[in-house]
Chain A
Amino acid sequence: MEFKDYYKILGVAPDAEKADIKVAYRKLARKFHPDLNPDEGAEASFKEVAEAWEVLKDSERRAEYDELRRYGGRQREGFEPPPGWQSASGQQHHSADFSDFFNEIFGSGFGREPHGAPGGSGFRGQDVEIELPVFLEETVTDASKPVEYELPVIEAGGIRRVKKSLKVTIPAGTADGERIRVKGQGSPGQGDAPAGDLYLHVRLVPHPVFDLKGHNLLVTVPVAPWEAALGAKVTVPTLEGEIKLTVAPGSQSGQKLRVRGRGLSKRDGKGDLYAVLKVVMPPTVDAETEALWQTLATKAAFDPRKEWSKR
């Protein structure tokens, strides 16, 4: 078992005052707290810092720790507590939030117990939250989806990660960022305590054609300059097949056309589809076409930058 140097983790001297230790803890907690810092590795760093603070903030536990540190703090890898060691403040519950060193020395029956409600003979298992990528098409109707994830399982002497897979129902109308609760599929509880829950954080996968605005869909529709000028009927994709859309004469690039009820499902109906027109020039033109453009330029006498010349 690796010996944890809590003073080093918090960057304080072994004889530091509690007030200074608290300042050091708060600075590091601000930096690494997983609710403030989503970076990979931040949570692991925060757990180390929180564990150090849990021990050093309490004078009785700090005294016990200091005693152990004097006893064997130099044996980094192969540290073992003295024979018959038992903490005056700990109970023998293991916590997945703390290191093996902490669980071995103090147990976790006090202080920072993340799921504070004991049930039966032990603590309820941890809730687990994972991101679930969902395709737009899967939100149109109730969809069954396989989910694979890892769970921390607390066993005698340590914490093991096990793979788990199950199928969940994604209710129709589930929106990006929503969370779905699957009861009892989190980490197993200790003893006969109930398991935690699984929370699925829905992330809609970016679509090659459609963009999202709430429950409304946006589709960018390329149109030729003459279609914008003269009007046209164009075929536009929706999530449920193609539709014909009327482009009015004199349409502008960026103009939005609303098609009611062709967006994503909501609990109370459906969102809309917005077709955004994008005027596209032909990539190449032959001499005859160029001559026609030239005629148009002369006849139309249009200055799109007229506003600028007023300045």
Chain B
Amino acid sequence: MMSTLVRITVSEFCEQEGLSRRTVAELVECDVARPLNEGSAADWQFDATGVHWMKRAIRLQRDFELDWVTVATMIDLLRQRERLLKENQNLRRQLGRFLKSEEH
């Protein structure tokens, strides 16, 4: 059985994506991702969700040739959209259990 690794270190992430530590620091400064641990940037670790949003940010920056502040705003809106869609889906399901649909 495969073990699931929840964390990825900043050095592993930089190596995999061919990024500089400075770029990852900018992503953290812009709140695209938050390290799981506090302390020195050299020891940062991220979870898979943080990695997902950083990779999306990097793709958007590269494909649209944007600055990081604009990218961070896009990521913020995308995250909000994802959360609201899920909340809407959950509330609709709850409402469906509560209401009996009937034509009047």
Contact = CB atoms under 8 A, between A and B. Distances in A.
Contact of A117 (B1, B18, B86): B18
A197 B15 CA distance: 13
A276 B99 CA distance: 13
A35 interface: yes
A35 B78 contact: yes
B84 interface: no
Interface in B66-104: 78, 82, 86, 90, 93-94, 97-98
B16 A115 contact: yes
Contacts of B42: none
Contacts of A129: 52
A180 B2 contact: no
A169 B1 contact: yes
Nearest to B55: A127
A276 B98 contact: yes
Contacts of A185: 2
Interface string A23-39: 00010011001011000
Interface size for chain A: under 10, 10 to 19, 20 to 34, or 35 or more residues? 35 or more
A177 B90 CA distance: 13
B98 A254 contact: yes
A182 B17 contact: no
Given A116-B18, A117-B18, A169 B48 contact: no
Interface of B: 1-6, 8, 15-19, 47-49, 51-52, 55-56, 59-60, 62-64, 78, 82, 86, 90, 93-94, 97-98
A154 interface: no
Given A26-B64, A212-B90, A213-B90, A182 B49 contact: no
Nearest to A179: B48
Contacts of A112: 62
Contacts of B16: 115, 117, 124, 127, 197
A217 to B, nearest CB: 11
Nearest to A170: B4
A211 interface: yes
Given A144-B1, A177-B86, A182-B4, 17 more contacts: A29-B64, A35-B78, A36-B60, A50-B63, A112-B62, A169-B3, A176-B86, A180-B6, A181-B4, A181-B48, A199-B48, A199-B51, A211-B94, A211-B97, A218-B94, A220-B97, A254-B98
